[in-house]
């Protein structure tokens, strides 16, 4: 494989993903706002460029893995954005962003003859490094076919949700919402248990072996029972971004989501108390504190 | 094993449990309010008795598997209750009841020299039939040891939560709360998906293979995506009982549980709309209707 | 007026009410569990009796003003209860209790040929002393006519809600719910204001002169803006009783009340933090704390 | 008074406000996007102009009364915006907008030497016509002094909240939030009453004469009890705008507001059911429907 891929955004997730592409034989032009963070990839053969525009080749592919909607729009269509250089090529957009943003980006690329595929991922940085991401896709069929070799080099499975540009983003938001719901539910259950003299760890252990024997409950059941929030795997202030994306999408779709609203408030309260830098599962402290547990 | 066990309550759950005890070689004296429902067990060797009291032998063991707290208290200490006949024996209490009720029953048995073990179970009727229940226990250690052969004949695993009489009931309520939380979260996620053109079944499929690859999400993800609520596996009106037990325990323990409060309201609304006889996962209709989905 | 009235319950509210009846010329037989608290009324001409039963005369009237449902049921139909002595007389029940309890009491009195009128009141102890209570009534028409002179001596206005025994209790619970809702709404508005640099007192002042120029907002707007919770006018732990009565009635009537559920949780959290002895408006501390305001 | 005032936005509120300024002797240059709607004011002496820019005179005053944040920003700083023409003059901004928008506008005006005063109002269109608005102000002291004659001609009272540009907007949002909270609380109370056989109108009548004898409860108590939602006084879809402004401000200030979140969901559900054109008090239908009331 010798196609040159542009790769924009080498943060906690993007950096191991870019490395996996290099190891799979792709040639990469890498851009990151803080150039220093892309340095390690140079040693593995990536070309580090100075602007998003320089990452693109006409008709090629650019992957974006950035912090939020604004960063993606800026990278593509900002003053030094890659879209003009990419032309009729493919923007493979892997960040967690709003479905409405995806729709807008897809439309702008289409206008210039280009393609846009949404491909947000589930999995923390270690999963990215181990090629264990789960990837959800949506967009034009031909473009998804073109993106497939790249996605195969990044994850352990791909789930497709059709041609509507933002569909995969809806799924990603739904998934994150479900994870946060599980965290809040565990937090409340543990508070009830603890105030009745039952150790949260014992409850978590039982749940994890029986009804809830899956990754999310194993992982967060343990973190929350042990109040293990530092260092963060995924920061609480980024959790606010995701919860807010969920609620914004819900507002746009006229869909009341009371659990989601409650989750956002838990996170807001955590941020108000200075916990933005803890793991997002620290939202579980809210239920404890409400119950007077120190 | 030739000990005679009293077994009280042969409803959807109790009937297959009693059958498993018979097949494991226990001799049973069975009481059910509606005698007809115990009839099938007679063919397998159970002795059907006319009052709870007749199910007990002095110093023996009585298992209760009944619909609610009041039924258990009545069976043990009501006018024709078994407690006097049981004397210093063991009450093995497997119903879903309040921790406070468990504590009160334990105290009353203790007063007469008897023992009380809480052993509520997780699993639907088919799991009861297949000896696949998960059983949580709490109470006096010696009494739990005595109860073990019976529990081994009923379930696939036992999780112990110490000597506090109501501890296992707290765990049972926490577990049911977590199941109901998962149902509401799925309902909201599916509503968001559907209003954005993503099929709930496709979302459920992805979740069940990735982040939430466990029984609860497999089972209810499918039921809710397919709106398969009839016939009920567990009735919505019994769901109200469980949600209310959770909130009552939370009130007693001064533990705010906002998800639990919301769940109770979803169920109340379902009952107000005449859905008490549907499966408890029909609480998921609330999120759909709020979003204007017919 | 020389009829002898039984008066049971001389707490914060009952004591000034009984005094007003004495001053209006009624002769009273007064019972209070803690006899000492009734002593001051003896100086004003009341006869202090030793049991609820002694407060009743056959075919007469007994007023109850007690802390909760159980206390009222005990006073009327407990071992030393007044119902047998009252016979075909009138039980004028002024406590805040559940509609279902009112219905049960009415039925039991009816069975013995007696009458029951629900007459719960709005107003704090100073309003009781000043004959400024608002009184809601329900029950048999003839019995309400008989009760009228007593109620006229206690309040500034009577609102009737028909013959259904518990109707006035529903109205009382609805009113208390509305007060608590106003407190929570003020608490959230003040937290938003304070975090944006707007003084809650300035906001309260504007509201009280414009849109919300009524007693509840004047009173609680000031208390909450000033965080003036001690001494209590009405204790937070009694607030839990009222919030729980609202939710129990809502559960019985299959009526989801999300604001009510939230209010109960605010109060539970306050109690978990040791604030049961503060004024019930201290539930407003929850919104502050959630926002990280110390 | 012969100063020429620019007036932008002659909708339901702006039109009667502009008329009052004319009648108070101010000379007006009026701009409205739909010019037709400004026509009636011409008959009373207003000069109708074709762009926002034409409404301004250098160093003068421009009043804006528009539907949302974007419309205000566009009118001031858009391609045909009035800010350049206004120069060092005063922008008197009376719309309901976000505090953050106010801060941004104030900063931009300040940059060009101009002034910005926030002066949002409480009151429906008839109150605007009757000069009965309540006006909240914030901003530079000298600018507020300059604005005072205009505000005196529009309302019955002015409440000032200091120099922070967005402070008055925070107060306006808090006020609208309190009104919506009162509506939801009434809706739940009425549903509880109705399901217990108590007529909402009877409850509303009692409340309005006693605890809640103020405009908001009188007005909405009657509307909601009578389900009088059409024609709208203030549309439900505009209610979503206001509820969302409240939550956006709460998010920005890290202030959880659970009542506000619930209100937004009630409104979303109403819009999902096609009620955007009804009065915003139609959000009360949610509590009814949840209780199974047709």
Asked if residue C224 has pLDDT above 80, the reply is yes
What's the rounded Cα separation, in Å, for the pair B245 and B176? 10
Nearest to B212 among A186, A216, A290 (CB): A216
Q: What class has domain A170-290?
A: mainly alpha
Whether C261 sits inside 8 A of B262 (CB atoms) is: yes
A-B Cβ pairs (cutoff 8 Å, strict)? 209
Label each residue of chain D as H, E or C. Answer: CCCEEEEECCCCCHHHHHHHHHHCCCEEEEECCCHHHHHHHHCCCCEECCCHHHHCCCCCEEEECCCCHHHHHHHHHCCCCCHHHHCCCEEEECCCCCHHHHHHHHHHHHHCCCEEEECCEECCHHHHHCCCEEEEEEECHHHHHHHHHHHHCCEEEEEECCCCCCHHHHHHHHHHHHHHHHHHHHHHHHHHHHHCCCCHHHHHHHHHHCCCCCHHHHHHHHHHHHCCCCCCCCEHHHHHHHHHHHHHHHHHCCCCCHHHHHHHHHHHHHHHCCCCCCEHHHHHHHHHHHCCCC
Return the residue in C179, C192, C204, C208 with the most chain D beta carbons within 10 A, the one to mutate for interface testing: C192
What pLDDT, on a 0 to 100 scale, did the predictor assign at position D72? 98
**CA-CA distances (angstroms) from residue B55 to A256, B37, B193, C156, D76?**
52, 16, 53, 62, 85
Residue with tokens 């005679």: B4
- pTM (2 d.p.): 0.97
Question: pLDDT tens digits, residue range D17-26?
Answer: 999 999 999 9
- Helix D167-195, helix C167-195: angle, nearest 10: 160
Q: Does C2 touch chain B (CB under 8 A)?
A: no
| C-alpha triplet A51, A52, A55: angle, nearest 5° | 100
Whether D274 sits inside 8 A of B292 (CB atoms) is: yes
What average pLDDT does the segment C235-245 reach? Answer: 97
What is the nearest CA distance from B71 to chain D, expressed in angstroms? 28
Kind of pairing between the strands at B133-139 and B121-122:
antiparallel
Q: Does B291 touch chain D (CB under 8 A)?
A: yes
Question: pLDDT tens digits, residue range C172-198?
Answer: 999 999 999 999 999 999 999 999 999
Q: Does B273 touch chain D (CB under 8 A)?
A: yes
Q: Does D274 touch chain C (CB under 8 A)?
A: no
What average pLDDT does the segment D138-154 reach? Answer: 98
Q: Does C186 touch chain D (CB under 8 A)?
A: yes
Nearest residue in chain A measured CA to CA from C266: A290
Structure tokens at D89: 């003059």
DSSP code of C45? T
**What does the buried/exposed string (b/e) look like for A146-165 if buried means 16 or more CB atoms within 10 Å of the residue's CB?**
bbebbbebbbeebbbbbebb
Active-site entry in D131, D148, D172, D241: D172
> Which residues on adjacent β-strands are paired with residue A160?
A137
Question: pLDDT tens digits, residue range C119-140?
Answer: 999 999 999 999 999 999 999 9
Q: Percentage of residues in chain C with pLDDT exceeding 90? A: 97
pLDDT band of B294, cuts 50, 70, 90: confident
Examine domains A4-162 and A170-290 and report if their fold is the same.
no
Q: Give φ, ψ of D92 to 5 degrees.
A: -100, 105
What pLDDT, on a 0 to 100 scale, did the predictor assign at position D2? 64
Nearest residue in chain D measured CA to CA from A250: D268
Nearest residue in chain C measured CA to CA from A267: C290
| Residue A68: how many other CB atoms lie within 10 Å | 17
What's the rounded Cα separation, in Å, for the pair C187 and D257? 9
What's the rounded Cα separation, in Å, for the pair A109 and A122? 25
The closest of B256, D252, B245 to C271, measured between CA atoms, is B256
Asked if residue D251 has pLDDT above 60, the reply is yes
Could you say which architecture CATH assigns to the domain D4-162?
Answer: 3-Layer(aba) Sandwich (3.40)
What average pLDDT does the segment D242-253 reach? Answer: 98
Give partners of A (≥3 CB pairs < 8 A).
Answer: B, C, D
Return the residue in A162, A173, A189 with the most chain B beta carbons within 10 A, the one to mutate for interface testing: A189
Q: What is the mean pLDDT of chain C?
A: 97
Q: Does D134 touch chain C (CB under 8 A)?
A: yes
Q: What is the mean pLDDT of chain B?
A: 97
The kind and range of the H/E element at A91 are strand A90-93
Chain D contacts in chain A segment 226-245 (CB below 8 A): 240, 244
Assign residue C71 a region: left if phi > 0, alpha if psi is -120 to 50, beta otherwise?
alpha
Whether A250 sits inside 8 A of D257 (CB atoms) is: no
Structure tokens at D34: 């739909």
Respond yes or no: is residue A88 known to be catalytic: no
> Which residues on adjacent β-strands are paired with residue C116?
C91
pLDDT band of D3, cuts 50, 70, 90: confident
Return the residue in D244, D255, D259, D265 with the most chain A beta carbons within 10 A, the one to mutate for interface testing: D265
Q: Does B148 touch chain D (CB under 8 A)?
A: no
B274: which chain D residues are within 8 Å (Cβ-Cβ)? 292
> Is C292 strand, coil or helix?
coil
Domain locations in chain D?
A: 4-162, 170-290
C245: which chain D residues are within 8 Å (Cβ-Cβ)? none
| Residue B148: how many other CB atoms lie within 10 Å | 13
Return the residue in D292, D293, D294 with the most chain B beta carbons within 10 A, the one to mutate for interface testing: D292
Active-site entry in C29, C132, C172, C273: C172
Q: Does C259 touch chain A (CB under 8 A)?
A: no
What pLDDT, on a 0 to 100 scale, did the predictor assign at position D294? 81
Whether D265 sits inside 8 A of A251 (CB atoms) is: no
Q: Does C196 touch chain D (CB under 8 A)?
A: yes
> Which residues on adjacent β-strands are paired with residue B160?
B137
**pLDDT by residue, tens only, chain A of 294 residues:** 468 999 999 999 999 999 999 999 999 999 999 999 888 999 999 999 999 999 999 999 999 999 999 999 999 999 999 999 999 999 999 999 999 999 999 999 999 999 999 999 999 999 999 999 999 999 999 999 999 999 999 999 999 999 999 999 999 999 999 999 999 999 999 999 999 999 999 999 999 999 999 999 999 999 999 999 999 999 999 999 999 999 999 999 999 999 999 999 999 999 999 999 999 999 999 999 999 998
B214: which chain A residues are within 8 Å (Cβ-Cβ)? 211-214, 217
Active-site entry in B35, B131, B144, B172: B172
Nearest to B272 among D274, D286, D291 (CB): D291
D174: which chain C residues are within 8 Å (Cβ-Cβ)? 189, 192-193, 198, 203
What is the nearest CA distance from A101 to chain C, expressed in angstroms? 30
Q: Does A151 touch chain B (CB under 8 A)?
A: no
Q: Percentage of residues in chain D with pLDDT exceeding 90? A: 97
Nearest to A272 among C274, C286, C292 (CB): C292
Give partners of B (≥3 CB pairs < 8 A).
Answer: A, C, D
What average pLDDT does the segment C271-281 reach? Answer: 98
Q: Give φ, ψ of D182 to 5 degrees.
A: -60, -40
Nearest residue in chain A measured CA to CA from D248: A244
D255: which chain A residues are within 8 Å (Cβ-Cβ)? 268, 272
What is the nearest CA distance from C283 to chain A, expressed in angstroms? 12
Give partners of D (≥3 CB pairs < 8 A).
Answer: A, B, C
D65: buried, middle or exposed (CB in 10 Å: 19+, 13-18, 0-12)?
buried
What is the nearest CA distance from B66 to chain D, expressed in angstroms? 29
What average pLDDT does the segment D104-111 reach? Answer: 98
Whether B262 sits inside 8 A of C266 (CB atoms) is: no
| Residue D42: how many other CB atoms lie within 10 Å | 13
Q: Does C272 touch chain B (CB under 8 A)?
A: yes
Asked if residue B255 has pLDDT above 90, the reply is yes
What's the rounded Cα separation, in Å, for the pair B202 and C29? 73
**What does the buried/exposed string (b/e) look like for A217-254 if buried means 16 or more CB atoms within 10 Å of the residue's CB?**
bbbbbbbbbeeebeebbbbbbbbbbbbbbbbbbbbebb
A-D Cβ pairs (cutoff 8 Å, strict)? 47
> Is C29 strand, coil or helix?
strand
Assign residue C167 a region: left if phi > 0, alpha if psi is -120 to 50, beta otherwise?
alpha
What pLDDT, on a 0 to 100 scale, did the predictor assign at position D274? 98
Asked if residue B135 has pLDDT above 80, the reply is yes
**What does the buried/exposed string (b/e) look like for D9-25 if buried means 16 or more CB atoms within 10 Å of the residue's CB?**
bbbbbbbbbbbbbbeee
Contact A64, A92 (CB under 8 A): yes
B153: buried, middle or exposed (CB in 10 Å: 19+, 13-18, 0-12)?
middle
**Which listed CATH number (3.30.420.10, 3.40.190.100, 3.40.980.10, 3.40.50.720) goes with B4-163?**
3.40.50.720
Nearest residue in chain C measured CA to CA from D248: C192
User: Is the peptide bond prior to A214 cis by the omega test (within 30 degrees of 0)?
Assistant: no
What is the nearest CA distance from A206 to chain C, expressed in angstroms? 27
């Amino acid at each position: 494989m010798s196609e040159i891929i542009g790769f924009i955004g080498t943060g906690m997730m993007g950096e191991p993903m870019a490395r996996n592409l290099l190891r799979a034989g792709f040639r990469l032009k890498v851009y990151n706002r803080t150039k220093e963070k892309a340095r390690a990839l140079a040693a593995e053969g990536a070309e580090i460029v100075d602007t998003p525009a320089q990452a693109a080749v006409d008709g090629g592919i650019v992957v974006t893995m950035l912090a939020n909607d604004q960063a993606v729009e800026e990278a593509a269509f900002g003053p030094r954005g890659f879209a003009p250089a990419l032309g009729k090529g493919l923007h493979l957009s892997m960040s967690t962003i709003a479905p409405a943003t995806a729709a807008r980006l897809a439309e702008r690329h289409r206008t210039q003859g280009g393609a846009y595929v949404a491909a947000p991922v589930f999995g923390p940085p270690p999963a990215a490094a181990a090629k264990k991401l789960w990837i959800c896709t949506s967009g034009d069929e031909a473009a998804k076919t073109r993106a497939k070799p790249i996605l195969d080099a990044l994850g352990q499975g791909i789930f497709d949700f059709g041609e509507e540009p933002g569909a995969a983003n809806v799924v990603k938001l739904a998934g994150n919402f479900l994870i946060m719901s599980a965290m809040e539910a565990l937090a409340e259950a543990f508070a009830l248990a603890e105030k009745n003299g039952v150790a949260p760890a014992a409850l978590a252990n039982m749940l994890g072996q029986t009804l809830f024997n899956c990754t999310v409950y194993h992982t967060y059941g343990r973190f929350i029972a042990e109040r293990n929030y530092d260092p963060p795997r995924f920061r609480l202030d980024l959790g606010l971004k995701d919860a807010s994306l969920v609620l914004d999408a819900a507002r746009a779709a006229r869909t009341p989501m009371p659990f989601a609203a409650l989750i956002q408030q838990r996170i807001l309260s955590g941020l108000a108390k200075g916990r933005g830098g803890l793991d997002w599962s620290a939202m579980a402290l809210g239920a404890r504190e409400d119950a007077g547990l120190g």
